[in-house]
Amino acid sequence: MPHCLLILLVFFWARAASAAEPPFDVSEIAPGVFVHQGAQAFPDRHNQGEIANIGFIVGERCVAVIDSGGNPAQGEALKAAVAAKTKTPVCYVVNTHVHPDHIFGNRAFKSKGIQFVGHHNLARSLALRGSHYLQTAARDLALSLTADALVPPDLSVDDTLMLDLGGRRIKLTAHRSAHTDNDLSVYDEHTQTLWLADLLFVEHVPTLDGSLMGWLATLNELATWPVKRVIPGHGAVRQDWPGALEPEKQYLLMLRDEIRALIQRGGTLETALARVGQAARPRWALFDDYHQRNVSTAFAELEWEE
Amino acid sequence: MRIPACPRIFGILLAFGLFLPSSILHAAEADEAIWLNTLKPQYFGDKPIEESTAVIELTAPYRAEDPALAPIQIAAKIPQTPTRYIKTVTLLIDSNPVPFAGAFHFTPESGKADLAMRIRVNAYSWIRAIAETSDGKLSMHKVYVKASGGCSAPIGGDLDAIMKRLGKMKFRFEGQPAAGQPTQAQLLISHPNITGMQMDQISRLVQPAHFIKQVKITFNGKPVLRAETDISISADPNFRFWFVPQGPGELKAEIMDNKDMAFTASEKVAF
């Protein structure tokens, strides 16, 4: 019986520890560029989707929030963090893509004078996926959200869009289908900081929900940009450029090459799911949560290659 | 940990929502009710169905990583002879909004009634393959799959690329076809197979369903495989099947979707 008591104590201690709210911290990684680094975790009922890197860029006239967080409460925490760092008002909320860990904080920022900005495909993607995301948030994240958590963009970026924050310009680029079909990057000219969001995964295994070939092409284009530091969607800010892109690129190339070879030999999706890329497991966090799905998505794309 | 020693503790842990497997089991039992009360009477009336793997065996991933693209295989355990053969395989996914995934009809010329395809699974569910042999007998094999959201999930990552290729088809052969021998072929169809369940939460509009409802594959005009299909078949439908080329000729696919758009493709078979 003493055993049982111990089990119970450990269980409640673990619950109490996990229930404690981690403080919401932002670091100024370059003058006026603030980042909250998310935990490298799978979205669940404990973290409630608070896993992505989110933050803001401060100009003389305006603040641009870059991704709003994984739920409305995290959006509120981010809003409070902005207010703690500057008196400058938020004018823009930039949604880098449709995934819930990046946009479910939007509701906290809805107000007159704040414009939501997204890729030209974001509204469509939000329309097609919103319903599904609300359901999975209820089931997997214990978040009960309604359609007002889905905020469609007021400003749509066709190709590139320059936002003037006052004494500081940020350049938004709508990329081709890559991580998703609605990836938007943010480049701060003043500090040569590139906010890539989920176009770059650091240590966290990349997740493919757009186009493998498009993502590889995008990485090659990005590598030519003048960049002093890069903010990934998941993982630590990096200063080696374009070296920071390399592990992700190698992972995507491995997917491409192994799956292509398998398709040429007449291999099936089932074989690909069992075999492709297993050697990469030790190099990536959350490999078992996402890798097979990446293989599945990549296979479905590559089997249509000419 | 010796479980029987701590019955109360486990009761307490249970109260905190641990031990999901038991709730999964309950879900499985509930699904059996859908089958017994609804699906079986609807599709098979009161005909007896033997549960076994003697006629067909279904393989599906226990946990589907991508619920909108779950690969499944149906292996025939009896040869397609003129005297006894598998006539139809019906595929049902109990918990899907439209449980009927497809009915696949074979002939003795099919060579082998094996099938493989990719399906959408919307909730933890039994998947059932029911074979009807030429003597009218029914045989079922069922597999439980943990997946969710496959039907309301968005269509692939790159809708534009899929729509651009709409109706395009490709055949692939497993190995070199040989005269008189069962040969495995794969038919790839580019079609979004939209389920009609992707509702726009903002406009409240639903992306209308757009899916393939008929597939007909012939070799030199003789039927190899005929199927009626529904929204549980994944985007870019993909079927692996067998046929027996008695001589050189042409394998042909004729497809029709629910908007009555028809597509055809053919492939020369030579030895």
* Residue contacts between A and B (CB atoms, under 8 Å): 118
B48 CA to chain A: closest CA distance, Å?
Answer: 33
* B167 touches A: beta carbon within 8 Å: no
Distance CA B16, CA B38 (A): 34
Check A266 against B175: CB less than 8 A apart.
yes
Residues from chain A contacting residue B148 (CB–CB below 8 Å): 136, 139
Please name the residues between 134 and 163 in chain B that touch chain A, using a CB distance below 8 Å.
148-149, 152-161
With 0-12 / 13-18 / 19 or more C-beta atoms within 10 angstroms meaning exposed / middle / buried, residue B36 is: exposed
| Of residues A11, A147, A293, nearest to B13 (C-beta) | A11
Closest C-alpha to B142, from B21, B46, B37, B39 = B39
Chain A residue at shortest CA distance from B240: A268
Give the pTM. Answer: 0.87
Identity of the amino acid at A145: L
Which chain B residue has the Cα nearest residue A153? B202
The Cβ-side half-sphere exposure at B267, using a 13 Å CA radius, reads 15
Q: How far is B200 from chain A (nearest CA, A)?
A: 4
- CB spacing of B9 vs A7 below 8 angstroms: yes
Say yes or no for a CB contact (<8 Å) between B158 and A177: yes
Measured between CA atoms, how close is A70 to chain B, in angstroms?
18
Omega before B177 within 30 of 0, i.e. cis: no
Sorted by sequence, the CB contacts under 8 Å of residue A280 that are 6+ apart come out as: A251, A254, A287, A291
Q: Do B157 and A208 touch (CB under 8 A)?
A: yes
Sheet with B70-76, side-by-side order of all strands: B56-59, B70-76, B115-119, B238-243, B183-189, B169-174
Rg for chain B, CA atoms, rounded: 21
Q: Please, which residues have CB within 8 angstroms of residue A286's CB and are 6 or more apart in sequence?
A: A40, A41, A42, A204, A205
Q: Nearest-CA residue of chain A relative to B66?
A: A293
Q: What is the ipTM of this complex?
A: 0.83
H-helix segments, chain B: 7-15, 20-34, 40-44, 159-164
CA separation for the pair A135, B67 (Å, rounded): 14
Tell me the C-alpha distance between A281 and A287, whole Å.
6
Out of A176-185, B90-99, B120-129, B160-169, which region has the weakest mean confidence (pLDDT)?
A: B160-169
State whether B65 and A273 contact (CB < 8 Å).
yes
In tens digits, what is the pLDDT along chain A, a chain of 306 residues?
445 555 545 444 444 444 445 679 999 999 999 999 999 999 999 999 999 999 999 999 999 999 999 999 999 999 999 999 999 999 999 999 999 999 999 999 999 999 999 999 999 889 888 888 998 899 899 999 999 999 999 999 999 999 999 999 999 999 999 999 999 999 999 999 999 999 999 999 999 999 999 999 999 999 999 999 999 999 999 999 999 999 999 999 999 999 999 999 989 999 999 999 999 999 999 999 999 999 999 999 999 987
B129-168: b (≥16 Cβ within 10 Å) or e:
bbbbbbeeebbbbbbbbebbbbbbbbbbbbbebbeeeeee
Question: Letter for the amino acid at A67?
Answer: D
| A-chain residues near B175 (CB < 8 A) | 266
Buried residues in A103-135 as b, exposed as e (16+ CB within 10 A): bbbbbbbeeeebbbbbbebbbbbbbbbbbbbbe
List of chain A residues whose C-beta atoms are within 8 Å of the C-beta of residue B198: 127-129, 131-132
Give the gap in angstroms from C-alpha B220 to the nearest C-alpha of chain A: 24
Nearest to A233 by CA among A79, A135, A100, A136: A100
Range in B25-34, B56-65, B231-240 the model is least confident about = B25-34
User: Closest chain A residue to B203 measured between Cα atoms?
Assistant: A127
Q: 186-225 in B: which are within 8 Å (CB) of A?
A: 188, 190, 198-203, 205, 207
Q: Which residue has the tokens 């794309």?
A: A301
Please tell me the distance from the alpha carbon of residue B19 to that of residue B24, in angstroms, as a whole number: 9
